[in-house]
Amino acid sequence: MAYQGIAAAKLNLSLDVLGKRADGYHELKSVMQTLSIGDVVEAELSLETKVTATDQALACDESNLAWRAYQLMHEEFRLDAGLTIRLEKHIPLGGGLAGGSSDAAQVLLAVNELFQLNLSQERLLALALKLGADVPFCFVGGTALATGTGGELQPLDPCPELRLVLVNPGFAVPTADVYNRLDELSLMPTAYTDGVLQALAAGSPMSLRAVVGNGLEPAAFQLYRELAKLADELADLGLTPLLCGSGATLAGIACDKKQAAIAADALSGKYPFVHAVTTH
């Protein structure tokens, strides 16, 4: 018996950092959205636990979030077997698209199915939150308002289809560095989420393109000038640039499929990862 699932990438249509909490984490308000690109996660019971990945740059030891997802379930339910986990990677590493979190969410589902635990969605979501703030959303998917540290979710009506071009410059951005720089900048909190919620309610892709935004961009662009340059390139191609999470991937939101295809063709070969996708 084997399990196979798609670990969809996540995009923050909005990301507002409201301030730093007493526990050291940041209070967030964000509209999260799944995309049509995703990793393929396969799992089957085995004597020992092992993670393999098609991307050799990915650590497949106990630091891997997919491995940690199995380990959490093992500790909670005293599982009587290991798990062989295969990750067919399509989401760039450390790119702000929650690839690791989405892989972990699929492992939770795999363990629930293969070990016949019959856990409720509420129980699985509580376990997902122990692994990281993005994992609960990756478990649920779709379109959702995320608050708190990002793990408190309110489902929203589906996002109208958007055509996007994802571009990753070939390096990872440490999330903690971006948040630390944002704290140093002492900027006023952004309010992109309210505008995105209004545009979603109107169901207008054009309105949505006009209001998306990420409050981490000033910090990320200051730390990595290459990202600011890439955002300018996307804008020059007629796309609306949007930093994915804390980076390093940027999304360019196009007016239509044709514009997305033209932009993707123009950028292919210039950057190591260029991929046209849709909201999903």
Residue 252 annotated in ligand binding: no
Backbone angles phi, psi at 240, to 5 degrees: -90, 110
Question: Could you tell me which residues are beta bridge partners of residue 85?
Answer: 43, 51
Q: Which of 10, 16, 89, 103 is catalytic?
A: 10
Query: Of all helices (H) and strands (E), which one includes residue 155?
Result: strand 152-155
Locate all alpha helices (DSSP H) within the chain, ordered by sequence.
Answer: 65-77, 99-114, 121-131, 135-140, 175-185, 192-202, 205-211, 217-223, 225-236, 257-267
Question: Could you tell me which residues are beta bridge partners of residue 259?
Answer: none
Q: Which residues contact 146 (CB under 8 A, 6 or more apart)?
A: 28, 29, 30, 31, 32, 133, 137, 152, 153, 154
Residue 186 annotated in ligand binding: no
Residue 99 annotated in ligand binding: yes
Is 194 annotated as catalytic? no
Task: Please report how the helices 121-131 and 65-77 are oriented relative to each other, as an axis angle in degrees rounded to 10.
Answer: 130
Q: Which of 16, 39, 103, 134 is catalytic?
A: 134
Residue 101 annotated in ligand binding: yes
Is 257 annotated as catalytic? no
Residue 189 annotated in ligand binding: no
Comparing CA positions, the residue from 9, 6, 110, 104 lying closest to residue 62 is 104
What's the rounded Cα separation, in Å, for the pair 160 and 22? 37
Residues contributing to the annotated binding site: 92-102
Residues contributing to the annotated binding site for ATP: 92-102
Residues designated as active site: 10, 134
